[in-house]
Amino acid sequence: MSDIQIWTLVFIVVTFGIYIVIAWRSRVKDTEGFYVADQGIPTVANGAAVAADWMSAASFIGMAGLIAFLGSDGSIYLMGWTGGFVLLALLLAPYLRKWGKFTVPEFVGDRYSETVRLISAVAAIIVSFTYVVGQMNGGGIVFSRFLGLDITGGVIVAALIIFTYTVLGGMKGITWTQVAQYTVLIIAYLIPAVAVAQQMTGIPVPQVSFGQILAELDALSQDFGLAAYTEAFSGRPGGQIDVFLVTMSLMLGTAGLPHVIIRFYTTKTVRGARFSAFWALFFIGLLYTTAPAVGAFTKLNLLQGVQGVSVDNLPEWVQNWQATGLVSVAENSDAVNTITNDAEAFAEGGYDLLVNNDILVLASPEIAGLPAPVVGLVAAGGMAAAMSTAAGLLLVISSSVSHDLFFRVVKRDATDRQRLLAGRVAMGLAVLVAIYFGINPPAFVAQVVAFAFGLAASTFFPVLLLGIFWKRASAAGAAAGMLAGLAFTGSYMIYTLEVFGTPENDHILGISPEGIGAVGALVNFVVTILVSSVTRPPSEHVQEMVEEIRYPAARVSSTKS
At 153, the pLDDT band (50, 70, 90 cuts) reads: confident
| pLDDT per residue as tens digits for the range 2-22 | 788 788 888 888 887 887 787
The reported pLDDT for the residue numbered 554 is 43
Check residue 136 and give its pLDDT: 76
DSSP, residue by residue, 88-116: IIIIIHHHHHHHT-S-HHHHHHHHT-HHH
Closest CA to 283 of 177, 412, 421, 189: 189
Please, where are the H alpha helices in 257-405?
258-261, 270-288, 291-306, 316-322, 360-367, 372-399
- Each residue of 254-298: pLDDT tens digit? 888 877 777 776 677 777 777 787 888 889 888 888 989 988 888
Fold of 3-297+367-549: Sodium/glucose cotransporter (1.20.1730)
Going from N- to C-terminal start, the domains of the chain cover 3-297+367-549
Residue 350: per-residue pLDDT: 54
Residue 336 CA to residue 34 CA, distance in Å, equals 52
Name the residue with higher pLDDT: 311 or 30. Answer: 311
Whole-number pLDDT of residue 170:
59
- Name the CA radius of gyration of the chain, rounded: 23
Q: Residue 521's pLDDT is what?
A: 96
Distance (Å, whole) CA 45 – CA 377: 23
Average of per-residue pLDDT values in the chain: 78
Q: What is the pLDDT of residue 251?
A: 92
Distance, CA of 107 to CA of 465 (rounded, Å): 12
CA–CA separation, 337 and 348 (whole Å): 10
pLDDT confidence bin for 457, thresholds 50/70/90: very high
> To the nearest whole percent, how much of the chain has pLDDT over 90?
14
Q: What is the mean pLDDT of residues 239-251?
A: 89
Q: For residues 478-484, give the mean pLDDT.
A: 95
Q: Is it the case that residue 96 has pLDDT exceeding 70?
A: yes
pLDDT at 338: 34
Cα separation, 515 vs 519, whole angstroms: 8
C-beta of residue 414 within 8 angstroms of C-beta of residue 422: yes
3-state secondary structure of 377: helix
The 10s digit of each residue's pLDDT in 492-517 is 988 876 544 444 447 788 888 888 99
Characterize the bridge pairing of strands 347-348 and 343-344: unpaired
Q: What is the pLDDT of residue 272?
A: 74
